[in-house]
Structure 1
Amino acid sequence: MVVDLQFEFTNRQRKKKMIFNKRHSNKQLCICFAIVGICSLSYIAISVASKITEYKSGYVWNKPKVVTPGKENSAPPSDAIVLFDGKDLSQWKNGENWIVKEGYATANKTGITTKKSFGDCQLHIEWASPKKVEGDGQGRGNSGVYFMGKYEVQILDSYKNKTYHDGQAGSVYKQTPPLVNACRPPGEWQTYDILFTAPRFDKAGNVTQKAAFTVLHNGVVVQNHFVLKGGTFWHKPAEYEAHAEKLPLSLQYHRNPVRFRNIWIRELSPIKGTLPKK
């Protein structure tokens, strides 16, 4: 009886060992298959990667010139033309009509126009409507920046001031409202950073490329590459009239003592590249 029990016990042990060995073998086999699979995939990936080459445009580009930024983002970079530094308006025609004091110029008597002409450009300008609120609608802190003397970005005290939407601050006057109203309260300084793409005309005077504005008002995008329908007019719809590639910039006097400071401009030109012949 003892012998039978011992034999049965031994038998069970052998079966357990066989099952364990079988499971262990299966596990080892799975690990081996996994390693083989990973190695195969790695080989395939390396083989494919070795056949991929980097795309290159083939253009030989001119080296971008180095421009030193101002100490602050509002300060003119090294390639900027400073139009008003708080001291005088010698860069402007009719500048003597405006009142310059304490680092700013106040609109007075007439509009002013730059002596130099510009095409594609980046403009930085800071302005403030009168702190004392007088009038409403278009009669409150009204002025405007005219690129090429024709394409206007509106200046207006639009802080809690109802007027037509395509005539408020940051609008392309009578063409489109700003995306948002980013106006500060009356008397506070405001900034415009404007990218202007000038229109192009063929020899017959037809528009080949329309003008466009990107405008940031107090750091907020209010015009996102808006394509203009034409020049700015008060009495008729916008339309294009052929003109020179470069024309002066103007600031409007609209019988409101709007103040200005820190005005600078950068001329923009596309970087050139050539595609060598094959």
Structure 2
Amino acid sequence: MKKIALVFTLIIGVVFNINAQTGVGVEKPNNAEILFDGSRKMLDEKWTYWKGPRLAAEMPIKWEIVRDPIDEGTVMSSNDPAGAGGKYGAADIVTKDEFRDFRLHVEFLVEEEGGNSGVYLQNRYEIQILDGDYGLHGMAAIINEHLPEQEAYNGTGQWNAYDIKFKAARFEDGKLKEKARATIYFNGKKIHKDKAIQQVWGGPNSGIDGGNDGGKGITDTLGGIKLQAEGHSVLFRNIWIEKIDLSNAGTDF
């Protein structure tokens, strides 16, 4: 009986790991779309500058394609000169495609202490990247709303991965019926479980609806995946997204 129980436990563990599909180096599912594969070609094809009120950069995108400092291949750096001094919104890049519900994978490496960037869901809700801070405005926070349930950051000079399942806000007759929600894994550890997201933070320079009622005026419009430039060298690679329909489901996985 002990052997049977052990085999059963191992099977359950394997199935769980297959379903989770989280962490650095995870390959995309067959029906997912690659948003960045390390090439200049894909950066130009699938991304553009976000045309927010503080935009100071001009096309083509000035995020450099550089050698991966750890593994083979190339990656992109968020150190756009227009974003120097922490001017978020001045040189942020966003996907040309827009999304509602999705599963997203993003890998990033902070090159220096204090490195700052962010991953924006629907160009609204920021999942923070900030070396040296684990507060509500710090690493892996759903910014200003939810602290990560555990610390999972690999540190500067190492690759990290966010795996996110996101459900967009729902509306009925033009009125907000259900707030956006997200479940997030950080380097394979679940840090946010089906958390409701209240608003956009940072004002109109931050993202879509940031200037509506102090960020609380969420609208029923789609948005892209945005990466933030704040004058720091944060590297990105292996970004993919899978469109899903969560109309009758939560985000936990």
Query: Could you tell me the percent identity over the aligned residues?
Result: 30
Give the aligned length.
Answer: 190
Shift in Å, 1:243: 3.0
**TM-score normalised over the length of structure 2:** 0.69
Q: How much has 1:97 moved relative to structure 2?
A: 1.4
Does structure 2 retain, via aligned residues, the 8 Å contact 1:119–1:198?
yes
- The aligned counterpart of 1:182 is 152
Instruction: Quote how far apart the aligned CAs of 1:249 are.
Output: 1.4
Aligned residue type for 2:48: K
Letter in 2 for 1:106: S
- Give the number of the structure whose alpha-carbon radius of gyration is greater: 1
In 1, the alpha carbon distance for the partners of 2:186 and 2:214 equals 25
Is the 8 Å Cα contact of residues 175 and 238 (structure 1) preserved in structure 2? no
* 1:24-103 paired onto structure 2 within 5 Å: 74-88=26-40, 89=43, 90-94=45-49, 96-102=61-67, 103=74
Cα offset, 1:251, TM superposition? 0.5
**Residue 230 in structure 1 maps to residue 199 in structure 2:** yes
Cα distance in 2 between the residues matched to 1:86 and 1:73: 13
CA distance in structure 2 between the aligned counterparts of 1:270 and 1:173, rounded to whole angstroms = 23
- 1:201: how far off? 1.8
In the TM superposition, residue 127 of structure 1 has moved relative to its aligned partner by 0.1
Give the whole-Å Cα distance in 1 for the aligned partners of 2:189 and 2:110: 18
1:104 aligns with 2:75: yes
SS at match of 2:35: strand
2:190 pairs with 1:221? yes
Using the TM superposition, give the Cα deviation of residue 196 of structure 1 relative to its aligned residue in structure 2, in angstroms. 0.6
Higher RCO structure (Cα 8 Å, ≥6 apart): 2
The amino acid across from 1:112 in the alignment is: I
Residues 115, 248 of structure 1: 8 Å contact kept: yes
Question: C-alpha offsets along residues 165-207 of structure 1, whole Å, 9 cap, x if unaligned?
Answer: 1111110101111111111121100000011110012333x21
CA distance in 1, matches of 2:144, 2:214: 8
Partners in 1 of 2:183 and 2:241 — Cα distance?
15
- How far, CA to CA, are the matches of 2:191 and 2:237 in structure 1? 21
Q: What is the aligned partner in structure 2 of residue 257 from structure 1?
A: 233
Partners in 2 of 1:156 and 1:271 — Cα distance?
A: 32
- Tell me the distance in 1 between the aligned counterparts of 2:155 and 2:125: 26
Structure 1 segments of 4+ aligned residues over 3 angstroms from their partners: 234-238
Q: 1:143·1:252 contact (CA, 8 Å) conserved in 2?
A: yes
TM-score under structure 1 length normalisation: 0.63
Gaps of 5+ in 2: 1-20, 50-59, 68-73, 81-90, 205-212, 249-253
Query: What is the aligned-residue RMSD (CA, Å)?
Result: 2.4
The answer for unaligned runs of 5 or more in structure 1 is 1-68, 134-139, 273-278
Amino acid at match of 2:176: V
Instruction: Say yes or no: does 1:199 pair with 2:169.
Output: yes
